[in-house]
Structure 1
Amino acid sequence: MTRTRGRVLLAGETWLTYGIHQKGFSAYTTGGYEVGSNEFVAALQDRGWDVDHIPNHLATEAFPTSVAELDGYDVVILSDIGADTLLLHPDTFVRGERTPNRLTVIDEWVRSGGGFLMIGGYMSFAGFEGKGRYHATPVQDCLPVEIHGYDDRAERPEGVHPQTKVSDHPVLGGLPEPWPYFLGYNRLTAKPGVSVLLAVEGDPFLVVGQRGSGRSAAFASDCSPHWGSPDFMAWDGYAAFWDQLLGWLAGRDA
């Protein structure tokens, strides 16, 4: 029996699209379903991680509602999934019933020893028009960064290269330099007592820290396009970076 690196729960990184096609007097609509995490998940699986992926349209009901459920995982990742998706369970939003606050559940799980990662994007941290909405929530409490209460995007179409600040940290050990370019990120503020491992022009880009008995990390850009550039996806260090970051979050040698 092959021993795995650990179990990962990924929530987010999917979206539905709707298009209107106007052809003279007539029009019709089309719809689609997009997944932004295929290469990311494949990279983790190639390194021995078991990954359960809950897409955005199912997370409202399917994301765990208790610490006991999260205890089945070593690392939980939120990527491009807004706070409202986890706060507004149908039993609450449709039927007016009380349900567990899953942002509080995440924080309690991390404090009890879990590993938590938020990856940047339009529905991460504060996000596009502030719709990520993690400012002043229990998820902000368990992350090593402060999240703004407004649109925090830094769009950088010219491309920016993160600079390594702590080269001897196990998350970054042995990774090739320089880092590839990124086309944007969420602007964050590092909390006191945490480690800023990567930065872009003074903005924290990768921050890690301790929360109770657990560990958490904030990666300010995306794991895939458009912010996560083709160069990042093809980078020799892509799989190794995520593997080492998750290994650190899980509390084991990377």
Structure 2
Amino acid sequence: MNKRVLIAGESWVSYTTHIKGFDTFYTSNYEEGVKYIRSAIEKAGYEVDYLPNHEASSKFPTTMEEIKKYDAVILSDIGSNTLLLPHNTFTKSETTPNRTALIRDYVLEGGSFLMVGGYMSFTGIDAKTRYGMTEVKDILPVKCLDVDDRVERPEGIVPQKVKDHEAIRNLPEEWPHFLGYNKTLPIEGAEVLVEIGGDPLIAVGSFGKGKSSVFTSDCAPHWGPPAFVNWTHYDELWKGLLDYMTSK
């Protein structure tokens, strides 16, 4: 049986106001950015379940039994509020399971976790994402900032491998450029494998019986430009990380 991966996030709705002289009208558009990473993971032989942001609030696992069906869980561009404030808690003041604590306990009991960067990852734009104030912080191989952590690099910035490791052994020294990333800080006991702007891009660590990793830039546009998502080694990047995390 193939290993199973749950990806949550990587979707958005745009609501646009069009002003044409006296008149205005509105359009809305739903988009997903998951196709690149999902395709890479499926090519590596994993089965993928995907929860876009608007479904994750109600459908993300709430029990250890549910989340242990997966060999790895990936959060990409999904804010902590989506996990912490399900409908019944926010509108009816009902108690519900803390799913950031569930992710932590899942890793400590042997699960695998990956956080991918974006405007709604780590601390995020305007510090709205704030995973560093949730239990997820206890199993991240980096420390989140307390402020808006975006590093925008419109001129392009190229990562650099700084350590040999089985998770990236098939990746070359030369990387394509990125257009930004979430700034995080290295922590004792974890390993930074690739740096970007002197900060962690890929870091890994063991926590309890499980493993955790981060990729602090985007798996899709805009921070991940065509040079990255069409990179010859794009698929191998995610395969290497998942193979490392899910190996026992």
Is the TM value for this pair above 0.5?
yes
Root-mean-square deviation (CA, aligned residues, Å) is 1.0
Structure 1 partner of 2:7: 10
Aligned counterpart for 2:46 among listed residues 42, 46, 49: 49
Matches within 5 A, 1:60-209: 60-167=57-164, 169-209=165-205
2:2 matched to 1:20? no
Deviation at 1:72, TM superposition (A): 0.3
Q: Does 1:223 align with 2:189?
A: no
Once the two structures are superposed, what CA deviation does each residue of 1:187-243 show, in whole Å capped at 9, x if it has no partner? 001110111000123211111000100000111101001111211111111001101
Would you say 1:233 and 2:221 are equivalent positions?
no
1:18: Cα distance to partner? 0.4
CA distance in 2, matches of 1:201, 1:52: 33
Other structure's SS at 2:237 match:
helix
How many angstroms apart in 2 are the aligned matches of 1:130 and 1:65? Answer: 25
Asked whether the 8 Å contact 2:108–2:210 carries over to 1, the reply is: yes
Alignment partners' CA distance in 2, 1:174 and 1:40: 17
Q: In the TM superposition, what whole-angstrom CA distance separates every residue of 1:91-121 from its partner, at most 9, and x where no partner exists?
A: 1101111011000000000000000000000
* C-alpha contact (below 8 Å) 1:176/1:236 kept by paired residues: no
Deviation of 1:160 after TM superposition, in Å, equals: 0.9
Matched, 1:250 2:242: no
Check conservation: 2:160, 2:173, Cα contact below 8 A: no
Alignment partners' CA distance in 1, 2:36 and 2:132: 29
Structure 1: gaps of 5 or more residues:
none
For 2:28 and 2:133, the matched residues in 1 are separated by: 35
Q: 1:125-151 deviations in whole A, cap 9, x for unaligned?
A: 001000111122111111111111210
Unpaired segments ≥5 residues, structure 2: none
The answer to whether the Cα contact below 8 Å between 2:152 and 2:180 also exists between their aligned partners in 1 is: yes
Secondary structure of residue in 2 paired with 1:99: coil
Q: Determine the C-alpha separation between the residues in 1 that align with 2:146 and 2:181.
A: 16
Distance 2:161 2:136 in 1: 26
Q: TM-score with structure 2 length normalisation?
A: 0.98
Aligned residues: 248
Instruction: Work out whether 1:36 is the aligned partner of 2:36.
Output: no
Q: Does the CA-based 8 Å contact 1:144-1:216 persist in structure 2?
A: yes
Is the Cα contact below 8 Å between 1:12 and 1:81 reproduced in 2?
A: yes
Instruction: Report the alpha carbon displacement of residue 177 of structure 1 after superposing the two structures with TM.
Output: 3.0
Return the alpha-carbon distance in structure 1 between the equivalents of residues 117 and 96 of structure 2: 27
CA contact (8 A) 2:157 2:179 kept: yes
**Contact 1:10–1:77 (8 Å) recurs in 2:** yes
Secondary structure in structure 2 of the residue aligned to 1:19 = strand
Shift of 1:8: 0.4
User: How far apart are residue 26 of structure 1 and its match?
Assistant: 1.1
Q: Which runs of 4+ in 1 moved over 6 A?
A: none
TM-score, normalising length: structure 1: 0.95
